[in-house]
Amino acid sequence: MVATQVEMLFDKLDQRRRDLEMSYAALSKRSGVSVPTVVRILSGSQPAASFAAVVAVANALGMEVEVSQIAGTGRFREQQAKKKAARLIGTLQGTSSLEEQGLEGDTIEDMKRRTVHELLAGSSRRLWGE
């Protein structure tokens, strides 16, 4: 999902450059970002471009980069807890399977629910730590 959003951003920036009929060199000069970096950003071949460079290019095109919330705090914490619980229980299940003590589907789901609850009720370090 994030890669797609980045690609869409770069596409919008490049479309704006074309609409303005602005050359890469002119955009480079206006933004203070080197021509090769401008080309890589707008072509999407540098998805890990620095945020500062992307903002500078956007501003030089008369645009701004906006950061917006994609999920409420509670929902995002719950999503994190579910991901972490699935990973923890998956590891446990893998270990149990190696010992020929595999867990049943209902047992696994119950363990995931309890783990999510414990992660949300416990320390933030435990929720966000690896």
Residue 101 has pLDDT above 70, yes or no: no
pTM of the entire predicted model:
0.63
What percent of the chain has a predicted confidence (pLDDT) above 90? 50
pLDDT at 1: 46
The full set of domain ranges for the chain reads 2-60, 73-128
Residue among 83, 34, 81, 80 nearest 57 (CA): 34
Q: What is the pLDDT of residues 46-79, one digit of tens each?
A: 767 889 999 999 999 999 988 888 889 999 999 9
